[in-house]
Amino acid sequence: MDAKKIIMDGTGIRRALARIAHEVLERNKGIDALVILGIPTRGVNLARMLEEKIYEIERVHLPIGTLDATLYRDDLGRREEQPSLKETDIPISIEGKHVVLFDDVLFTGRTIRAAMNALIDFGRPKTIQLAVLIDRGFRELPIRADYVGKNIPTSLKEDVQVHLEDVDGVSEVIVIPKGDGVEA
Amino acid sequence: MRLKRKDLLDIEDLSRDEIELIMSTAKSFREVSDRDIKKVPTLRGKTIINMFYEPSTRTRTSFEIAAKRMSADAINISVSTSSTVKGETLKDTAKNLEAMNPDCIVIRHASSGGPHMLARYLKCPVINAGDGTHEHPSQALLDLFTVNDAKGRIEGLKVVIAGDIAHSRVARSNIHGFSTMGAEVRVVGPPTMIPVGIERLGCSVVDSLEEAIVGADVVMMLRVQFERLHRPLFPSIREYSLVFGLDTEKLKKAPPDVAILHPGPVNRGVEISPEVADGPYSLILDQVKNGVAVRMALFYLLVGGAKE
């Protein structure tokens, strides 16, 4: 744990979310037909935090939901152990909506590919936009984020972990050597 | 997390952690059946063979729907259309099916231990969909899931299993399952239908249904299996129904929030009255709905991973 680097604290996360809220509103010219979906685990909390920020600005609550992409992963059948499934809960039809997907860390892009496939099985959204708290690079697919909290250069020997107060008791983003800490 | 086993043959073998893993996985799968497009690509390219050597509507359909909703190819073989009528042995049938490289075989067989024998010969996972009077593990898992969903827990619940315990693989699997999960299990039925020494599975025996359901959180009524009654074990259906059938009058002895389960098919007016089967405390149709999610979870955990 000595090599742990804090690259964002609670205040930094709040400020990044406030900026992303403004960017989402600017790009979509308001809140019409907007839906925010979080990717488990911490994307769900980030989606909720983004919705709160948008409410502070617009005084309107947006529909939020949870999208677990595990069943659409491309590495099922290649792993020794099956990844554990999380909840999916999309409270309204996404047909014709502008859907903002929120994940904590954008890395290879494979989770987002799976999430987009999963989402399209629920209907045909007008647009799918991607928000992430951290973009750490190393993409393996042609995917980029529309809203980024912070870009950080990392090495493949490192893990990036987002901790949020609701889940972990403390809000921070840390970089640690691979294999330390707990699996998110 | 993974199930550390190739096959699902009985509940007796399962640990509490494994049962909890199956239940939590099933919980995530339940939502898939409520979608407009009820399909996920998880088992694309996998082949699942359902071999049913005994009649079944619910279980066979449930396994087939579970496989199809996960994009697997499901093939159903029933005994009347299989080579068994030409005299092929179970082992030969299995070896021939294996030559076609399936990814899982689901089997129901009239002989207790049939699926276990098959599992020894086959490299692919085998799921027991009911073997003779031994076990029916997927049924017990969906019962556990349904009770946990309705009551929020299983630990400490009082569970009554009533009826033909002797012939019931559902009873045996549920006694193991509920006792592993920390519930208190009582069985009740005509003395001719209670096997000697059943207490060793982890339950107590009560003589009267009315007495058994006092303070019960869950009452599971079993079907009288007329097809397995080769000699009479009770004087008449009318008498069975009067003494061991659950009707609204007897149900008054149970707490108001009691949950009623029945694995189906129901003999209406024999072991359970229509008013109780269709009543507000009945979870019978929830059991059927949850059965699909539980079987999807079993496929996900047993078939979805890397091959050895």
Write down the mean pLDDT value for chain A: 94
In a domain, A81, yes or no: no
Mark yes or no for CB contact A77/B305 under 8 Å.
Answer: yes
Give pLDDT, residue B93.
85
| Res A181 pLDDT > 80 | no
Q: Domain for residue A133, yes or no?
A: yes
Residue A82 lies in a domain: no
Contacts of B25 in chain A (CB under 8 A): 84-85
**Is B6 among the domain residues?**
no
Return the residue of A nearest to B303 by Cα. Answer: A77
**Which chain B residues are within 8 Å of A71, Cβ to Cβ?**
32, 40-42, 70, 300
Q: Is residue A103 part of a domain?
A: yes
Q: Does the pLDDT value for residue A80 go beyond 90? A: no
Greatest Cα pair distance, chain B, in angstroms, is 56
**Does residue A2 register a pLDDT over 70?**
no
> Is B24–A68 a contact, with Cβ atoms under 8 angstroms apart?
no
Which pLDDT score is estimated for B308?
55
- Report the CATH number that the domain containing residue B24 is assigned in CATH: 3.40.50.1370
**B268 and B141 in a common domain:** yes
Q: Residue B181: what residue type? A: M
Q: Are residues B181 and B46 in the same domain?
A: no
Q: Are residues B163 and B249 in the same domain?
A: yes
- Could you give the CA distance from residue B133 to residue B9 in angstroms, rounded to a whole number? 13
pLDDT score, position B306: 72
Residue range of the domain that includes A131: 5-71+88-177
Please check whether residues B104 and B183 belong to one and the same domain. Answer: no
Q: Give me the mean pLDDT over the A156-160 stretch.
A: 95
Residues B132 and B142 placed together within one structural domain of the fold: no
Which chain B residues touch A70 with a CB distance below 8 Å? 28
At A179, the pLDDT band (50, 70, 90 cuts) reads confident
A146 lies in a domain? yes
Rounded Cα distance, B254 and B282, in Å: 13
Q: ipTM of this model?
A: 0.86
Predicted pLDDT at A184: 45
Residue A83 lies in a domain: no
**Does residue B2 sit at the A interface (CB-CB below 8 Å)?**
yes
B147/B260 same-domain check: yes
Nearest-angstrom CA–CA distance, B118 and A54: 59
A72 at interface of B, judged by CB pairs closer than 8 A: yes
Mean pLDDT score of chain B: 94
Shortest CB distance from A82 goes to which of B70, B304, B307?
Answer: B304
Same domain, B225 and B215: yes
Q: Domains in chain B: how many in total?
A: 2
Helix axes B16-30, B284-303, angle to 10 degrees: 110
Say whether both B173 and B127 belong to one domain: no
Average the pLDDT over each of A77-91, A143-157, B7-21 and give the range with the smallest value. Answer: A77-91
3-state secondary structure (DSSP) of residue B52: strand
Q: How many Cβ contacts (< 8 angstroms) between chains A and B?
A: 59
Domain residues for B163?
Answer: 137-287
**pLDDT on residue B307:** 66
What does the pLDDT read at residue A85? 93
Answer whether residue B2 is part of any domain: no
Mean pLDDT of A72-79: 88
Residue B7 lies in a domain: no
Collect all residues with Cβ–Cβ distance below 8 Å to B40 and sequence separation of at least 6: A71, A72, A118, A121, B32, B69, B70, B71
A80 interfacial to chain B (CB closer than 8 Å): yes
Regions of chain B where pLDDT drops below 50: none
Task: List the one residue out of B303, B276, B10, B261 whose CA is nearest residue B143.
Answer: B261
> B49 lies in a domain?
yes
Torsion sign, CA atoms B6, B8, B14, B19: positive
Do residues B203 and B248 share a domain?
yes
Q: Do A87 and B25 make contact, defined as CB atoms within 8 angstroms?
A: no
Q: Angle of helix B137-151 relative to helix B284-303, nearest 10 degrees?
A: 120
- Give the other-Cβ count within 10 Å of B39's Cβ: 14
Residues B73 and B162 in one domain: no
Q: Is B47 helix (H, G, I), strand (E, B) or coil?
A: strand
CATH number of the domain at A137, please.
3.40.50.2020
B110 within domain boundaries: yes
First CA to last CA distance, chain A:
16
The number of distinct structural domains making up chain A is 1
B54 falls within a domain: yes
Residue A183 maps to a domain: no
Measure the CA–CA gap between A50 and A36, rounded to whole angstroms: 8
Taking CA atoms, B261 is separated from A114, A141, B174, B204, B276, in Å, by 38, 49, 12, 19, 10
> Same domain, yes or no, for B130 and B176?
no
pLDDT single digits (tens) A39-58 = 999 999 999 999 999 999 99
3-state secondary structure of A53: helix
Evaluate the CA torsion angle B19, B262, B173, B68 in order and state its sign.
negative
B254 and B113 belong to one structural domain:
no
Tell whether the model's pLDDT for residue A182 goes beyond 60: no
Cβ contacts (< 8 Å) between B41 and chain A: which residues?
71-72, 117
